[in-house]
Amino acid sequence: MISFLKKHYLIFVFAFLLSVFTFAPQLWAINSIGDNFSGIYPVKSGDELYYAARAHEVLDGHEYISNPYLYEYKDGEPVQFWLSDYILTKPLSLFALDVYQIYFLHDFILPFILALLVYFVFFRLTGNKLLSLASVLFINAALFLNLFSRAPSPQFNFIFFLLLTWLFISLNRHKKKKYFIWASIIFGFLFHIYTYYWTFYLVWVFIFLLLSKLYNKKFDLSPYIYMTLGALIISIPYFVSLFKNMQLSYYDESIYRLGMIDTHFPSGLKIVLLAFFVLLFFLWAYRKKLFTINPTSIFLFSGVLAAVVSVNQHIITGKNLEFSSHYLLPSIFVICLAFFYLLNKTSFARKKLFYPLMFALIVLFGYQSVIAEIKSSATFKQNQIAWQKYGEVFRWLDKNTSKDSVVFANEEVTMLLPTYTHNNVFYNRHANIHFIPDEEVYDRFLIHNYWQDIDEDFLYQEQTSIWGVHYIDTFGHWKSKNSILSKLGMSSEAPPMIPAEKVEDILKLSDEVKAKSFEDNISKYQVDYLLWDKSADSTWSFSGDLVYRNGDIYIYKF
């Protein structure tokens, strides 16, 4: 063990520094506002609030996370992975830590683990310590320091992708039974961790086995098939849950809000171009006889092809669910893995100046993004400083209201409240990420904005709260498509940002909602309390029994 640590001590030092860069700036931000901090933590994106709400849902006893916001949808099936949130949250809840304390702890531990795993995957492949260190500097710092600060995805989920890659590299070289068994377990576990990782790996394994058999008719497929079958057996609960979800009458409309678009046009141009250059590198290196065709080289070649296929499977299926963005991390990782493998085979890797130059280039490439990320994490934004007024209010709600009671509040409060209390909310823009009928989404949105002037501009501004990201993704896909076609001297007709008839439908519904009193509108839903921030929502008018006041913040019981 001591000799192992001596051999690889640099990666442990570097992994520790990455953890510090992820963890320490957030503490600095909290300390920077001194006594103004009342327990409302800084966040870098809405995604962090969403994952924090999911974590609190686990603490509240709803482990499947059917919907962390809406009371009426607590007992359904999860719309996506839930096991990651459970593993990260439940054990540490035994130490009476809150969601943000738990995630702060993970911000120290998980980047350390990720750095070690990336290093040892590359080292297992190349046997080159400096090249493996460079891979961590490039992937974990220069490219994905921000992304690897977000739990559970990908900060926790990607660990299993890396473990499976290490196992595949090992079993392709040694064919030991233990590697196949562990690969089967981790592969099966991946189905319950993150959809885009298991689908990527399924494509990768299929291409690998196909190319291996085409190259060598005597290649033994049986251990790989048994491994995959074992993984599929472990995945059965996932597919049972998926089947139940698909029986919902509002399954399709929920998936479209998540970003499903109908298209056969290729996407993921950046990934495809990077993959193309690495495939050319493969062909050049093979012609130069820098490597031999064996299970390892076929596996890496297959991984690069899998990146292209994964982001473009909709060419056949016609269904695209944000593949370019969600497959970005595994695609870039596999492309880097193949590139560094080939680089290690060249004569450049044996020259003295190669590694100093390589490290210098990576530092120059990633310096600005790393500094920007550290500064961002170390800064408490002004609106988040203003959130501190809700700290005492949330503590009162958590102490004086029953679990799963529903609070009506403005959008800003309803994004925060489920991450700090055991309460649900009437609606917010993340609630429609889960399974819920479009008709109810529209109704809740309009009631939630009852005192707001609803016009076309407002609907465009708040479209994710109504239609999710479907129209945003549709328009974005068209822009990408038109960019490619324009280079070929062609073009395609732009889709509307939002179809006019959809906007008109919501405006008509708004008139119907406003024709009734606020109390009549909410009577068909579970609403127990109303939190009114008078300074932010001075136009609100309603009836209820005042049960709490803190400055300009009032809580009424219905």
Average pLDDT per block of 10 residues along the chain, 558 residues long: 88 98 95 95 88 96 96 89 94 91 95 99 97 98 96 96 99 95 98 96 98 97 97 97 96 96 93 97 96 97 98 93 89 98 92 92 96 95 96 98 98 98 98 97 99 97 98 92 84 89 98 98 98 97 96 97
The per-residue pLDDT for 6 is 87
Q: Which residues pair with 546 in a beta bridge?
A: 556
CA distance 69 to 425: 6
Q: What is the dihedral of CA 145, 151, 154, 159, to 10 degrees?
A: 100
Handedness of CA 422, 426, 431, 435 (dihedral sign): positive
Q: What is the pLDDT of residues 338-354, one digit of tens each?
A: 999 999 999 888 888 99
Please confirm whether the linkage preceding 266 is cis (ω < 30° from 0).
no
* Sole residue written with tokens 């531990």: 109
Task: Bin 532: left if φ > 0, else alpha if -120 < ψ < 50, else beta.
Answer: beta
Q: What's the pTM? A: 0.96
Residue by residue, DSSP assigns 79-145 as SS--HHHHHHHHHHHTTT--HHHHHHHHHHHHHHHHHHHHHHHHHHHH--HHHHHHHHIIIIIIITT
pLDDT at 5: 85
d(CA 544, CA 555): 9
Give the chain's largest Cα–Cα span.
81
Tell me which residue of 18, 290, 8 sits closest to 132, measured CA to CA: 8
Residue 1: what pLDDT?
78
Beta-carbon contacts of 102 under 8 Å, excluding residues fewer than 6 positions away, are 55, 88, 89, 92, 93
Q: Tell me the torsion sign for CA atoms 470, 475, 479, 482.
A: positive
Token pair for 280: 């050319």
E strands within 349-439? 406-408, 424-425
Give the pLDDT confidence score for residue 322 in this predicted structure.
84
Cross-strand partners of 319: 262
Contact partners, residue 448, CB within 8 Å, separation at least 6? 408, 411, 414, 426, 427, 428
213-220 contact pairs (CB < 8 A, 24+)? 215/293, 215/298
Residue 548 dihedral angles phi and psi, to the nearest 5°: -160, 145
Which whole-number Å values give the CA distances from 277 to 34, 172, 282, 485, in the listed order?
51, 25, 9, 21
| Omega within 30 of 0 (cis) for the link into 223 | no
